[in-house]
Every structure is written in C-alpha cells, then in structure tokens.
C-alpha cells in the first residue's frame, strides 16, 4: 500500500471540496443548525411546564387542598375549569391533552375515612393518547402527588385513586398518531429531493436548455413531473398505511380531505425543491441545502416530538413551518376525524402549496447563463 497515493488523493479531494463555496458553506452550516435546534429542544426539557386542566365538582376543603398541592408543583400549569362545563368538549376546544376531574363527594369520602370508615374514592384523569409523552409525564406527576396526599391522610393506605379516561376511541394506539406524521415527512423528503435532483442534474447536463428546442411548454413539462411526484406520494402513503394495518393493526379513517392534504403536500414541497434547485446549482450542494431545510423541519414540526415538549419560542417556530400543518391536517383527517380542524389545517396547507409551487414554477428557468 502506497501512503503517498492516499495522501495525494486526500489532498485532491480537499481541494475539490474547498473550491465549491456552496459545498463548504452547507457542510459547515448543517451541523451548526442541528446543534442549535436539538440544543434548544433539549436544553429546556427540565424547565418545561405542562398544562393541566382541573375541574372541581366537589368544591370542598379537601378538594381545594389537593388543588393547592397541584399548584405548588413547579412543572404544572394548573388551569381551573368551571363545574358546568363538559370536560371532553372543553379539552377538544382548547386542544388540551390532560384534564383532572375531582368528583362530587370527594370531601365527604375523606371526612368519612378520617372518622374511621373504610372508604375510598377516585379522581378522573382524561388524556389524549396522541400526546403520549406529555400525558405520561403528567400522569406520573399526578400519581406522585396522590401518593403524598394519601401518606398525609392515612400514612400510606390508598384512599384516593386515579381512574383514566381516554378522550379518543379506545381502538386507537400511539402508532395511529405516529403514522400521519410519517406520511407527511416521507412525502416531503421525496418531493424536495426529487425536485432538487431533477432540476440540478438537468441543468448540469444541459437538458434544460435543450428543452427550449422541444415542442413542449414549461408548464406541460412541470405538470408532467408533478404527476409523477403525486404518483410516488400516493404510493408511499399506501405502503405506509398497508404495512401499518398488517403489522400494527393501524386504524385509519379514509376521507377525501386526506387526498387533498397529500396533493397539497406534494405540490408544496416540490415547489420548495424547485426553489432550492434554482438558487443552489450544484448537485451535491443542493442536496445539503435540502437536508439543512427538511431535516430540522422534521423534528420541529411535531412529526416525532409533541410541541408541548419544546420551549415556547420553538412552539412558535413550529407553527410557521408548512410540515406542521401537513401533519396536523393528516392527523385530524385520518385519526381524530375532526372535520372542522381538518378543514382549517388543509386550507393552510393549500395556501402554502400555492405560494411555494407557483414561486418554484416562476423561478424555474430553461435558459441558463
């Protein structure tokens, strides 16, 4: 083995890399973006607060005392719900994941126990299984607070328990809520990189210039490519759903809005890919630019992490990212089956799709300098 050959080849690769300013820029920027994003997400994990809606139907000294215990837990943001409100409907309106209901008779039961009677009572915990991380944390906090409360009352005997209520059909599991985000992310990746690869490769090979001499308009060419991207989008969606059904017993509501969101998602990120491919002309650099945009969006837009787990300023960032609205649109269409919210998120996806796609079409040029 000749060491000089290895060194010379390394130096040649280093020179080739350093001559491409775009490649150097995105190579250095990509890890910076990742450390900033993940640092922002996880550096504030210990400071994260969780909203807990509490409805006191008893309004006794005992119930007020327990609510005071909850309010003194630093990571809980206790919000009081009036007694006459339907808790499940209220949670849906507020998009809340956790609520606690102290039932009427709570105080009388504890008073009876203090007088020597063998009685117990439960408080009701309502939670949204789609936000498994947040609800499991809140449930552990509630269980710990009840343990301390029981210790003070009985010295360890279980007087107060907790009864769980799933606010969505028990047929749903966490995989049902994970899959829509996976569909949105997969389509985003294929459309962005498909558009980047096509535009940069065709430009480099001179195919875009040659298309000027062909009896085909730019609109026809772009729409034909979009038709192919739509085919890939529906194919990947179908594969994910079929595998989910066969392997994980996935439950999905099929609704026309689901098709609209998928079409909008495909046009949206194809347009974004065209924009990237227009301004970043080298294939390798364009791929890095695409990754620097799509990869952070995957984690910030609620694909894997619930927004409540992130600091508030990152939650605000997530709500300006198009993938967030794609994910939510698919979840409310396929899983939660809330047509009102599905229409809202679908509308925003279509607005994003129109802006990015028409911008990409306008910026895509066949004549190059």
Domain boundary among 136, 166, 196: 166
Domain assignment present for residue 24? The answer is no
Domain boundary among 99, 134, 166: 166
The reply to whether 189 and 331 lie within a common domain is yes
pLDDT at position 359 over 80: yes
Q: Which domain holds residue 356?
A: 174-363
State pLDDT tens for residues 88-118.
888 877 777 788 898 888 888 888 888 878 8
Domain boundary among 132, 166, 200: 166
Between the alpha carbon of residue 358 and those of residues 143, 284, 353, the distances in Å are: 53, 25, 8
Which of 169, 83, 97 lies closest to 131, judged by CA? 97
3-state secondary structure at position 366: coil
Residue 200 and residue 283: Cα distance in Å, rounded? 6
Could you tell me what percent of the chain has a pLDDT over 70?
A: 72
Domain assignment present for residue 18? The answer is no
Domain assignment present for residue 289? The answer is yes
The reply to whether 213 and 310 lie within a common domain is yes
C-beta of residue 320 within 8 angstroms of C-beta of residue 238: no
Residue 75 and residue 56: Cα distance in Å, rounded? 20
State pLDDT tens for residues 305-318.
667 666 777 777 77
The reply to whether 162 and 269 lie within a common domain is no
Written as one string, the DSSP assignment of 72-110 is TSTTEEEEEE-TTS-HHHHHHHHT-SEEEEE-TTHHHHH
Here the tokens at position 249 are 């017993």
Instruction: Record the pTM.
Output: 0.61
The predicted structure's pLDDT at residue 145: 83
C-beta of residue 302 within 8 angstroms of C-beta of residue 181: yes
Check residues 299 and 183 and name the one with the higher pLDDT: 183
Q: What is the mean predicted confidence (pLDDT) over 266-273? A: 87
Backbone angles phi, psi at 102, to 5 degrees: -95, 115
Tally of domains in the chain: 2
Q: What is the DSSP letter of 129?
A: G
């Amino acid at each position: 083995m000749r060491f000089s050959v290895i060194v010379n080849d390394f130096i040649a690769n280093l020179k080739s890399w350093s001559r491409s300013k775009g490649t150097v820029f995105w190579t250095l920027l990509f890890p910076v973006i990742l450390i900033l994003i993940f640092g922002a997400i996880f550096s504030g994990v210990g400071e994260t607060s969780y909203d807990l809606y509490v409805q006191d139907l008893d309004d006794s000294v005992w119930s007020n005392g327990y609510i005071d215990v909850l309010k003194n837990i630093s990571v809980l943001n206790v919000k009081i719900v009036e007694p006459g409100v339907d808790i499940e409907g209220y949670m849906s309106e507020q998009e809340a994941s956790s609520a606690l209901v102290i039932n009427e008779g709570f105080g009388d039961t504890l008073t009876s126990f203090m007088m020597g009677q063998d009685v117990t009572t439960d408080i009701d915990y309502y939670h949204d299984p789609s936000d498994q991380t947040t609800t499991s944390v809140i449930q552990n906090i509630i269980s710990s607070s009840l343990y301390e409360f029981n210790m003070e009352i009985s010295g360890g005997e279980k007087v107060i328990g907790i009864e769980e209520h799933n606010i969505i059909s028990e047929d749903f599991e966490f995989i049902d809520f994970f899959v829509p985000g996976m569909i949105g992310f997969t389509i985003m990746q294929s459309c962005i990189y498909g558009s980047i690869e096509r535009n940069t490769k065709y430009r480099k090979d001179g195919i875009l210039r040659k298309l000027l001499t062909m009896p085909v308009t730019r609109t026809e060419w772009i729409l034909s490519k979009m038709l192919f991207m739509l085919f890939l989008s529906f194919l990947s969606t179908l594969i994910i759903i079929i595998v989910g059904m066969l392997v994980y017993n996935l439950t999905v509501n099929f609704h026309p809005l689901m098709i609209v969101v998928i079409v909008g998602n495909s046009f949206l990120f194809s347009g974004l890919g065209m924009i990237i491919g227009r301004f970043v002309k080298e294939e390798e650099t364009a791929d890095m630019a695409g990754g620097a945009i799509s990869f952070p969006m995957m984690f910030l837009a609620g694909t894997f992490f619930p927004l409540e787990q992130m600091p508030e300023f990152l939650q605000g960032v997530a709500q300006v990212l198009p993938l967030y609205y794609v994910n939510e649109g698919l979840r409310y269409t396929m899983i939660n089956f809330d047509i009102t919210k599905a229409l809202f998120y679908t509308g925003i996806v279509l607005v994003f799709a129109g802006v990015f796609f028409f911008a990409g079409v306008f910026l895509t040029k066949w004549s190059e300098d």
